[in-house]
């Protein structure tokens, strides 16, 4: 066997998993198809202090501090939430990936960039992987395979992992834009603006921002919604110049199986993203720690069967299933809301009491902390109650049938 572990994908989840396994003395190879780690960037780079601490990032990674948000309802209501403590941070995402990759390399992992990997055959004792680079093609063998190859994971398809519950398609850009308050993000809601998701402006400084939009649903083109958002809010987007266009997809849901024969999935490939914001860096790091823990245990015991590797699923669900399920429930309520109901809700939350509840309990990594308080917000509680009643009625009629 040439390697103990081959990690396909040199993004943050892959690098972090590789580092943790290499630190235990195993021979790890990371194959990354792009020539430079961290490029091209497909991310708005907005993360919590908790994520920075989990990743043990140097302070220099922070480009801007965000202290609050303007949430725009479809009918023009604006909810302002401010938190002086640093609600989130805008980071240099490219550098974030490089730091994690360099750490994996220092721990002993071999990093092959410009190398596309494809899973070959599984056989008793290992799996073969085809590596394709400018230099040509080769086949190598590994005891364990880790699919950290992002939202369109080839490894996930290869082990027939279940599909994500939903996929959000995003159109985004780095832009020159006058940001009047550089510590405040803008969030745009509305079925016409961003069906099933939201649009955003994240200031990088006073003259530069990251702008984007996500949409849920087949056949919807995020770029047309991006253009519509820009046209709808001329006061915010006036004079905007696109410097670099980007985009991508974010899978959401709780994947019921993130393992297979000699294989583990991590990061976006395992749907380790937050169902309300789509952020995947925090959960990807948590996933990497659990993935590496089970991988090293399986390697040391010489048991790489799906049954043994399923401990990863159990650990993951124990750690985050409740949080993800709560977020999905709230997202499902959001999906049923008309534009008029969103207007009412934003108006309701604009009351100073609710503003202080939101800034006190709002947590971009754990939205359930705020969700628990929303039960006291009449318009939201009513929707929740009605959704519960509907579920019970559906259940009763299904049971009768
Ligand atoms: C527009 C947009 C904005 C976002 N904004 C945020 C944000 O503000 N905050 C946040 O936390 N998250 C954000 N996310 C999500 C975040 O970017 C992802 O969750 C995160 O990148 C997942 O990390 P990963 O390592 O799992 O996958 P990735 O970062 O996607 O890395 C996967 C790597 O695998 C490589 N790869 C794929 N196939 C192969 C192959 N066959 N061989 C070799 N290499 C391969 C790819 O080149 C890639 O480098 C955003 C996503 C998008 C699309």
Q: Are 114 and 214 found together in one domain?
A: yes
C-beta of 203 in contact with ligand 1 (< 6 A) = no
Q: Are 307 and 377 found together in one domain?
A: no
Give the pLDDT of residue 253: 95
Give the pLDDT of residue 400: 72
Q: Are 309 and 374 found together in one domain?
A: no
Give the pLDDT of residue 356: 84
Q: Are 139 and 235 found together in one domain?
A: yes
Give the pLDDT of residue 146: 98
- Alpha-carbon span 128 to 386, nearest angstrom: 52
Whether omega before 40 lies within 30 degrees of 0, making that bond cis, reads yes
Q: Are 240 and 355 found together in one domain?
A: no
Whether the CA torsion 64, 69, 72, 78 is positive or negative: it is negative
Please report, in tens digits, the pLDDT of each residue of the chain (401 residues total).
Answer: 799 999 999 999 999 999 999 999 999 999 999 999 999 999 999 999 999 999 999 989 999 999 999 999 999 999 999 876 778 999 999 999 999 999 999 999 999 999 999 999 999 999 999 999 999 999 999 999 999 999 999 999 999 999 999 999 999 999 999 999 999 999 999 999 999 999 999 999 999 999 999 999 878 899 999 999 999 999 999 999 999 999 999 999 999 999 999 999 999 999 999 999 999 999 999 999 999 999 999 999 999 999 999 999 999 999 999 999 999 988 988 898 999 999 998 998 888 888 888 888 888 888 888 877 877 777 777 776 666 666 666 767 777 77
Q: Are 252 and 342 found together in one domain?
A: no
Which residue matches tokens 């994947």? 255
Domain-embedded: residue 69: yes
Distant-in-sequence contacts of 194-202, Cβ < 8 A, 24+ apart: 194/225, 194/229, 195/220, 195/225, 196/166, 196/168, 196/335, 197/168, 197/170, 197/278, 199/225, 199/226, 199/229, 200/44, 201/177, 201/236, 202/44, 202/45, 202/46, 202/66, 202/90
C-beta of 68 in contact with ligand 1 (< 6 A) = no
Domain-embedded: residue 330: no
Q: Are 198 and 345 found together in one domain?
A: no
C-beta of 16 in contact with ligand 1 (< 6 A) = no
Give the pLDDT of residue 377: 74
Domain end residue (candidates: 281, 299, 324) = 324
Protein residue whose Cα sits closest to atom 18 of ligand 1: 280
Q: Partners of 142 in the beta sheet?
A: 3, 127
Domain end residue (candidates: 270, 297, 324) = 324
- Give me ligand 1 centre to Cα 101, in Å: 14
Q: Are 311 and 388 found together in one domain?
A: no
Q: Are 298 and 361 found together in one domain?
A: no
- Give me ligand 1 centre to Cα 11, in Å: 6
Domain-embedded: residue 152: yes
Question: Which tokens sit at 101?
Answer: 């990759």
Q: Are 300 and 347 found together in one domain?
A: no
- Give the CA radius of gyration of the chain: 22
Domain-embedded: residue 111: yes
Phi–psi pair at 15, nearest 5 degrees:
-65, -45
Please give the model's pTM, rounded to 2 decimal places.
0.94
Closest ligand 1 atom, residue 14 Cα:
25
> Domain tally for the chain?
2
C-beta of 6 in contact with ligand 1 (< 6 A) = no
Domain-embedded: residue 238: yes
CA atoms within 13 A on the CB side of 89: 20
Closest ligand 1 atom, residue 171 Cα:
1
Domain-embedded: residue 331: no
Domain-embedded: residue 75: yes
Domain-embedded: residue 102: yes
Domain end residue (candidates: 324, 349, 374) = 324
Q: Are 264 and 125 found together in one domain?
A: yes
- Alpha-carbon span 282 to 298, nearest angstrom: 25
Parent domain of 254: 3-324
> What's the CATH number where 249 sits?
3.50.50.60
Q: Are 177 and 115 found together in one domain?
A: yes
Measured CA distances, 128 to 63, 125, 238, 266, 343 (Å): 42, 10, 53, 19, 55
């Amino acid at each position: 066997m040439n390697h103990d572990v081959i990690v396909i994908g040199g993004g943050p989840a892959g690098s972090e998993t590789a580092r943790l396994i290499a630190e235990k003395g195993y021979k790890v190879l990371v194959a990354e198809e792009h020539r430079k780690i961290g490029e091209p960037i497909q991310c708005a780079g907005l993360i919590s202090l908790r994520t920075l601490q989990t990743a043990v990032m140097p302070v220099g990674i922070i480009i801007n501090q965000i202290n609050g948000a303007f949430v725009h309802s479809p009918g023009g209501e604006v909810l302002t939430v401010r938190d002086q403590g640093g609600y989130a941070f805008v980071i240099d995402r490219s550098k974030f990936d490089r730091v994690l990759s360099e750490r994996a390399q220092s721990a002993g992992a071999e990093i092959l960039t410009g190398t596309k990997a494809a899973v070959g055959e599984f056989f008793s004792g290992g799996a073969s992987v085809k590596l394709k680079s400018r230099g040509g093609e080769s086949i190598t063998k590994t005891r364990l395979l880790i699919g950290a190859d992002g939202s369109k994971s080839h490894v996930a398809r290869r082990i027939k992992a279940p599909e994500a519950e939903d996929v959000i398609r995003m159109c985004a850009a780095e832009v020159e834009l006058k940001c009047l308050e550089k510590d405040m993000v803008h969030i745009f809601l509305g079925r016409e603006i961003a069906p099933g998701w939201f649009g955003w402006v994240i200031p990088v400084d006073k003259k530069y921002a990251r702008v984007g939009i996500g949409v849920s649903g087949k056949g919807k083109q995020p770029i047309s919604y991006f253009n519509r958002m820009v046209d709808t809010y001329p006061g915010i987007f006036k004079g905007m110049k696109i410097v670099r266009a980007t985009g991508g997809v974010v899978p959401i849901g709780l994947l019921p199986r993130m393992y297979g024969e000699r294989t583990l999935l991590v990061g976006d490939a395992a749907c380790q993203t937050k169902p309300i914001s789509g952020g995947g860096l925090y959960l990807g790091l948590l996933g990497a720690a659990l993935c590496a823990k089970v991988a090293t245990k399986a390697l040391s015991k010489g048991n790489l069967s799906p049954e043994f590797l399923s401990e990863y699923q159990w650990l993951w669900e124990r750690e985050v299933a409740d949080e993800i399920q709560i977020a999905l429930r709230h997202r499902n309520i959001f999906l049923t809301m008309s534009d008029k109901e969103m207007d009412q809700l934003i108006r309701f939350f604009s009351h100073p009491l609710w503003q202080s509840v939101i800034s006190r309990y709002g947590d971009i990594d754990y939205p359930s902390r705020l969700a628990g308080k929303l039960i006291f917000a009449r318009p939201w509680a009513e929707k929740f109650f009605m959704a519960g009643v509907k579920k019970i009625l559906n259940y009763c009629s299904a049971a009768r049938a």
